[in-house]
Amino acid sequence: MAEKYSTLLPRFLKYVKVETRSDPESDAIPSSPKETAFLKQLETELKSLGLSNVRINPNNSYLLATIPANVKGVPTIGFLSHVDTADFNAHGVNPQVIKDYDGKSVIPLGNSGKYQLDPQEFPSLKNYAGKTLITTDGTTLLGADDKSGVAEIITMAEYLLAHPEIKHGTIQIGLSPDEEIGTGADHFDVDDFGADFAYTVDAGPLGELEYETFNAAAAKIDITGKNVHTAIAKGAMVNAIQLAIDLHELLPEHDRAERTEGREGFYHLYRLDGTVDHAQMNYLIRDHDKAKFEERKQHLREVVDRINKRCGSKRVTLDLYDQYHNMREVLKDHMDVVEIAKQAMENLHIKPVIYPVRGGTDGSTISFMGLPTPNLFAGGENMHSRYEYVSLETMEAAIDVMLEIIKLNVSR
């Protein structure tokens, strides 16, 4: 397999060393100039490989390219991934390559002695006996989310162009910024992309096939306190930090990310900053069930109203907005797109792993724009952390699945 996709590993190692962390505080598109620079680098690479119509859309910064059809009358497939990485240190990524891992040994991450991948703590390592693993050195994330997908899609395109005997319809490729901050797909242009159906290549381990995601909202809460000297505080001080604590305690104690699983939804307080005078809270709200999702948002509104009523004035303001919705609402009417991917995996003796995802992908937003877009595995494990790793063989399998989907699309 390594000879078949000989450019995959060096391509991936090159990509992850380029810092492309997105910036949630920016309103620019892309949110970081580092993403712009990387997209331009990839644009040059795609042109050198011989793809057609390679361009960066000036309105949304998607890098787009086409592999023209060599057979007529076949639906157009799209493959998408994102170039940005998440909110963990991404500067100075120094990947380690462990060949022929035995599936049981502890893997030191770098030379500091502080961090390691231990199968006792990360049992997924036991699935990779005999495989080549790419890990971090313990100081950064790896960036397999989603530079594994980027490398896989580009390597797939390179292979397809080098093998014109493989019959295929038109293939569209899209590489996006700002997926990790939830804004990249908001600007996606379905008509410009020009596919009949698509797949994001952004899921985790071997076999993952996702078409059911969370409904997602975010909440920004601003609290105005009143700071006076503690000697005369009674009846006069309004402690913004205490109001934040009180608000959080009015939410269901069980419904937190760290206490839920499966289809259980939650409120996730991921940031709290404040002084007596002023505090800010940031929440993620998640649920697979649309009705429960709406109930969660309404409950948070009622909690804020309750705090304000107790204060006798509007000291708490809530900015609540939806981020994405459960793609199953769309894909239930386009299950043929899921079935092609499932059949492709089964043809390759890969067991499809299908379950409700406790998260979302660009495919969630894009599916609601009218382009059915389930999510295929890209291989990453322990994403968004110093413990992130990916198997080279799983990345190769992702390319095999894409090529099999392309072949099945011709024959159906």
Is 19 annotated in the active site?
no
DSSP code of residue 232: G
Report the candidate in 269, 366, 358, 353 with the shortest Cα–Cα distance to residue 327: 366
Please, what's the b/e burial string for 73-88 (b: 16 or more CB within 10 A of its CB; e: otherwise)? ebebbbbbbbbbbbeb
Q: Which of 19, 43, 179, 210 is catalytic?
A: 179
Are the C-beta atoms of 286 and 265 separated by less than 8 Å?
yes
Q: For the sheet containing 133-135, what is the strand order?
A: 96-98, 133-135, 389-391
- Residue 121: φ, ψ to 5°: -90, -30
Quote the strand ranges of 254-349, DSSP E.
266-274, 278-287, 316-324
- For tokens 């205490």, the residue is 242
- Residue 279: φ, ψ to 5°: -140, 155
DSSP 325-340: --THHHHTT-HHHHHH
Listed in sequence order, the residues at least 6 apart from 44 whose beta carbon sits closer than 8 Å to its beta carbon are none
* Integer Rg of the chain from CA: 23
Report the candidate in 195, 214, 405, 168 with the shortest Cα–Cα distance to residue 323: 214
Is 137 annotated in the active site?
no
Report the candidate in 15, 39, 13 with the shortest Cα–Cα distance to residue 176: 39
- For tokens 């499932």, the residue is 342
Are the C-beta atoms of 201 and 149 separated by less than 8 Å?
yes
Describe the chain by its helix, strand, coil percentages, rounded to 5.
Answer: 35, 20, 45
d(C-alpha 209, C-alpha 276), whole Å: 47
Q: Which of 19, 23, 84, 388 is catalytic?
A: 84
Report the candidate in 155, 157, 199, 148 with the shortest Cα–Cα distance to residue 66: 157
Identify the three-state secondary structure at position 175: strand
d(C-alpha 101, C-alpha 83), whole Å: 28
- Residue 52: φ, ψ to 5°: -100, 160
Catalytic residues: 84, 179
